[in-house]
Structure 1
Amino acid sequence: MHVGRWLPLLCLSVFIGGCASVSPTSTPAILDHLLADPAFNGATVSLMVRDARSGTTLYQHNARTRLVPASNLKLLTTAAAMDVLGPHYRFSTQVLSTGGRQGERLAGNMYLRGLGDPTVQFADYQALAAQLASQGVREVQGDLVFDDTWFDAERLGVDWAQDDESTYYGAQISALTVSPDSDFDAGTLIVTAKAPVAVGQPVNVSVSPATDYVQLSNRAVSGPGNDYGITRQHGTNLLQLRGALAPGKQSRQWVSVWEPTQLVANLFEQALAQQGIKVQGRRVIGGATPATATTLAEHQSAPLQDLITPLLKLSNNNMSEALLKAMGRKTADAGTAAAGVAAVAGFMTRQGLDPSALSQVDGSGLSRRNLVSSQTFTDLLLASARQPWFDAWYTALPIAGDPDRMVGGSLRYRLRGTAAQNNLHAKTGSMAGVSSLSGYITDANGRRLVFSMVSNNYLSDAAPVRAVENRVARALAQWQD
């Protein structure tokens, strides 16, 4: 090897690594070098960097190439939701009836009506039952109807992968759902397994919230190997536990359910029974609430400007899909993904952006049919910065290097001890062969930049690609012309 030929690249590499003794090199040249990393051999990478104030392009590489964005699509969904629904929008879950009161009896049907809230928890359904009890209701003579018609019956997004089906991030979408935790992983249950100290004994299993809606096939045992896992059989709620869990250890896994509306039915009936309220009629799934029904109790979510924090920090898919369908319901009276996508396109048009430059089929980015360029993402970032709701949205983005899970989010372990720490506000995205990072960063001269980097079709694992993303962020934070 001829050393002289490679010396400039070695110097660039040392400079990017943070060595102050090397002469400064222009940031565009550094970026060119970074995008030539072997991790991208045979892959496609797109990067665009712009001045946040003027919109001037500072760097571009394949900037107009549409690529699968993964969870960077949530930038578009949440920005549109802040515009279409408004920062103060709240989801609602209601108990209604068409019948009159006869002492402790409710003479007609009772309806539990969901308007898409992905944050409602079992405790909230218990509180609704308690509201009924506080009004003196002890018996429902009619049917108990679970109304999830605010959204359509399409439970999964377009072309979602089959092997994601039982995961928390691939959970089914319903207007009437339940989350097992404050991360709002709607449509899932937490399955906790504890391994006895004695090797070869079955693990002890509990489900939260407690329900008999799922069935357990427990073949998992206490033992070496640590290959314990859970799968849910397609089309059922049979959870299959297999493998070995180290003696004395505990595992918590989030598993999606088949048909979350029916899980809600199971839990709400539990909540009514806890309050001593008896239902004489049938359980009816999917019936619509008559317009003449009277509201007896109601639960409201936090406002959207607060909900986008867990959504963006933790990259919550189900919340994103609920927002998409809620936008469709508001703009076209149709709780469908297609109507939501049309609402997002309307938002883009109002901002002077071109919706025909991208393909969107869901709200979360879980589908590989979504296609967005880094230029479109930077257009969105520039437009969002002009909105009255921008400060709340900007704060909700993951912040590099901050260890607080609800501040640093998916960037909490990245870029610590660099000029990007507590500086970079950006959304991550990750799927097999896909990585993305788009957001805002301030350079050494106090100039705010917007950038988007999307990589597709690499064959390595994500670590080398994320390492390059980190180096790009560091180079932007130390921009030199």
Structure 2
Amino acid sequence: MKGIAVSLLTLLLGNSPQVVAQMPAVSGDICPGELGAKVDAIANRPEFSRSRWGILIQPLSSTTILYSRDAQKYFIPASNVKLLTTAAALQKLGANFRIRTSVYSGENGNLYIAGRGDPSITETQLKSLASQLKQRGINRVNDLIGDDSYFQGNAVNPNWEWEDAQAGYGAPINSLMFNQNAIELILSPQSIGQPLKVTFAQPKLTNQWQIQNNSVTVGQNESEFV
């Protein structure tokens, strides 16, 4: 067995897509005195009757408050907080930082993958890794072992709402993630009162996971929730 230390940096992050946002055209400047009415007109729309807003607007050059709406109240942070996390990471780590995922081999023929939190690892990258190993003359691996010890603590943020934990973006976070720690399922309705039919999008996973199916098929006009 040959000793190896393969870096997945370029493999995992070299093809990141670029996203360009299209901003709507600005019709003109808004007078500070009109700002409150403009914001209220949006926040008071009927479709937002069950929503809560926490807004504070002030210029960067002064502490003058131009608009405030429940700004002192606490809210569960939404995705806009990711901007602060991104800015902090950019300042602390730099624009060229890459998350390193290391691959090692042992004398017993095992292959070890040590993760450090890269969320972009998918089956595609593992297939590419297998091709790289073959090019290095490694044609057989006894066991593939994942090292998930880099992150310590809870895999799920205890401050998340339970509804968020049920969504795909609420999957547990650990140091060795694969396919965003999510499995794609196909749910098909059956006779009313019967459980939904659950099918794995990837049939090979059928025997690897056990699902507790508590779903119920309901009528077309009945409330539904998955």
TM-score range, shorter chain: 0.5 to 0.7
Q: 1:66 to 1:87 in 2, by over 3 A?
A: farther
- The corresponding residue for 2:158 is 158
Q: 1:187 to 1:94 in 2, by over 3 A?
A: same
The Cα of 1:177 is off from its aligned counterpart by 1.1
State the distance in 2 between where 1:51 and 1:79 align. 20
SS in 1 for 2:201: strand
2:97 corresponds, among 89, 105, 110, to 89
Report matched runs for 1:24-423 at 5 Å.
26-31=33-38, 34=41, 37=44, 45-52=53-60, 54-55=61-62, 57=64, 59-61=66-68, 65-68=72-75, 69-99=77-107, 107-140=108-141, 144-179=144-179, 186-193=180-187, 203=197, 205-208=199-202, 210-211=204-205, 212-215=207-210, 237-238=211-212, 240=214, 242-243=216-217
SS in 2 for 1:81: helix
1:423-442 alpha-carbon deviations (Å, 9 max, x no partner): xxxxxxxxxxxxxxxxxxxx
C-alpha contact 2:185 2:198 (8 A) present in aligned 1: no
Of 24-33 and 78-87, the range deviating more from structure 2: 24-33
The Cα of 1:188 is off from its aligned counterpart by 0.8
- The corresponding residue for 2:17 is none
SS in 1 for 2:134: helix
State the distance in 1 between where 2:34 and 2:122 align. 48
1:345-368 alpha-carbon deviations (Å, 9 max, x no partner): xxxxxxxxxxxxxxxxxxxxxxxx
Q: List, as ranges, runs of 4+ consecutive aligned residues in structure 1 with deviation greater than 6 Å.
A: 38-44
Number of matched residues? 184
1:197-246 alpha-carbon deviations (Å, 9 max, x no partner): xxx9x85723248423323xxxxxxxxxxxxxxxxxxxxx5455542699
The Cα of 1:123 is off from its aligned counterpart by 1.2
State the distance in 1 between where 2:70 and 2:215 align. 46
TM-score (norm 1): 0.32
1:300-329 alpha-carbon deviations (Å, 9 max, x no partner): xxxxxxxxxxxxxxxxxxxxxxxxxxxxxx
Q: 1:74 to 1:208 in 2, by over 3 A?
A: farther
**RMSD of aligned alpha carbons:** 4.0
Q: 1:85 to 1:46 in 2, by over 3 A?
A: same
Extract unaligned runs of 5+ from structure 2. 1-30, 221-225
C-alpha contact 1:195 1:204 (8 A) present in aligned 2: no
SS in 2 for 1:71: coil
State the distance in 2 between where 1:203 and 1:42 align. 34
1:213 maps to amino acid: Q
Structure with more contact order per residue of length (Cα contacts < 8 Å, sep ≥ 6): 1
1:228-276 alpha-carbon deviations (Å, 9 max, x no partner): xxxxxxxxx5455542699xxxxxxxx9xxxxxxxxxxxxxxxxxxxxx
C-alpha contact 1:172 1:187 (8 A) present in aligned 2: yes
State the distance in 2 between where 1:76 and 1:112 align. 31
Extract unaligned runs of 5+ from structure 1. 1-23, 100-106, 180-185, 216-236, 247-254, 256-481
State the distance in 2 between where 1:133 and 1:32 align. 60
State the distance in 1 between where 2:65 and 2:74 align. 21
State the distance in 2 between where 1:151 and 1:37 align. 44
State the distance in 2 between where 1:148 and 1:66 align. 38
State the distance in 1 between where 2:55 and 2:116 align. 39
Q: Percent identity?
A: 28
- The structure that is helix-richer by fraction is 1
SS in 2 for 1:130: helix
The Cα of 1:62 is off from its aligned counterpart by 5.3
C-alpha contact 1:153 1:174 (8 A) present in aligned 2: no
SS in 1 for 2:66: strand
The Cα of 1:148 is off from its aligned counterpart by 1.0
The Cα of 1:175 is off from its aligned counterpart by 0.9
- The structure that is strand-richer by fraction is 1
State the distance in 1 between where 2:152 and 2:54 align. 35
2:148 maps to amino acid: D
SS in 2 for 1:132: helix
C-alpha contact 1:48 1:57 (8 A) present in aligned 2: no
